[in-house]
Homo-oligomer: A and B are copies of this chain.
Amino acid sequence: MSAPVYLKGDKAGLKQFLDKYDVFLFDCDGVLWSGDHLFPGSVPTLEMLRKKNKQVVFVTNNSTKSRGDYRKKLESMGIPATTEEVFGSSYSASIYISRILPQSHPQLKKKNKVFVVGEAGIETELDSEGIPHIGGTDPAYRRDVTPEDYKLLAAGDPSVLDPDVGVVLVGLDFHFNYLKMCYAYHYIKRGAIFLATNVDSTLPSAGALFPGAGSMSAPLIAMLGGQQPMAFGKPNQAMMDAIEGKFQFDRSRAVMIGDRANTDIKFGIEGKLGGTLAVLTGVTTKQEFLEGDTRPAYYVDELGDLLEGA
């Protein structure tokens, strides 16, 4: 494994770096901002890249927001963006369900309703692909389990278990509860395909960690005796395939920029991109990037360091 190249202050190296790529994939939290704090170099760097006619893509594992929601978030942070430039795990999952899954699972051509564990972002993306869904934000699932539920679920009664459900899609759900676990489990046991937007077990917020989408899959995995869901967030390559499908780019001319070795940098390396760039403004430390198992091709202290190469 070769050592990551430190580009800060290396004007010629930075210029070469910028010339080498046409497509810049960005992780956001920890790269462009941290929590509510926008890094000062983020907006000028993005402007510089756009002036050079680079394709910019914002790649997020956040399943609770649709691409439109996420564009609004970017704009609220002061970063102009279009919905087309945003790639989220809910969108990636929706594309997979509508376009790819029916090829390998012909039964889904007739029975493609999705039982959603998650928030509105998933529903919006499923709607955008025309996929029918139940569960999700429906208040009917935000209640206690009853003895009647046990009986009807155990019997597979079609009044509670919709026979058209062919997929269970699990993302971050702030309204997760016992009843939703029961439904998701029984649909999967009756043959529905088990998918997860992403399996990050934690969600960083306010400088600490909270339950992530992986915490909603974990009980199901345990109940199913270890069966893992197919997942779409970084570093899963289903996401990279979806991004490539959309932008039709040459992977050797693309670079992934991120703050986490085991998600962002791994995503770029396994996707066989032309390069990976780490920033030191997020989760993974310099030492981990230099000595860990997953090393970026390049690193800088912060994103704004790229400006010197312009």
Contacts and interface: CB of A to CB of B under 8 A. Distances in A.
Interface of A: 144-145, 150-151, 153-155, 173-178, 181-182, 185-186, 189, 201-202, 205-212, 214-216, 218-219, 221-223
Interface centre among A155, A175, A178 (most CB of B within 10 A): A178
Given A215-B219, A223-B201, A210 B150 contact: yes
Contact of A215 (B144, B206, B223): B223
B144 A207 contact: no
5 contacts: A145-B174, A153-B208, A211-B223, A215-B223, A218-B222
Contacts of A145: 174, 210
A15 to B, nearest CB: 41
B176 A178 contact: yes
B208 A186 contact: yes
A224 to B, nearest CB: 9
A202 B176 contact: no
A223 B209 contact: yes
Contacts of A155: 206
A178 B118 CA distance: 12
Contacts of A176: 176-178, 181
Contacts of A178: 173-176, 211
Contacts of A209: 185, 189, 223
B208 A154 contact: yes
Contacts of A205: 150, 154
Contacts of A216: 219
Contacts of A153: 206, 208, 210
Contacts of A222: 201, 214-215, 218
Contact of A174 (B144, B175, B207): B144
Nearest to A142: B144
Given A150-B210, A181-B215, 5 more contacts: A151-B206, A153-B206, A186-B208, A201-B222, A201-B223
Contacts of A215: 181, 219, 222-223
Nearest to A179: B174
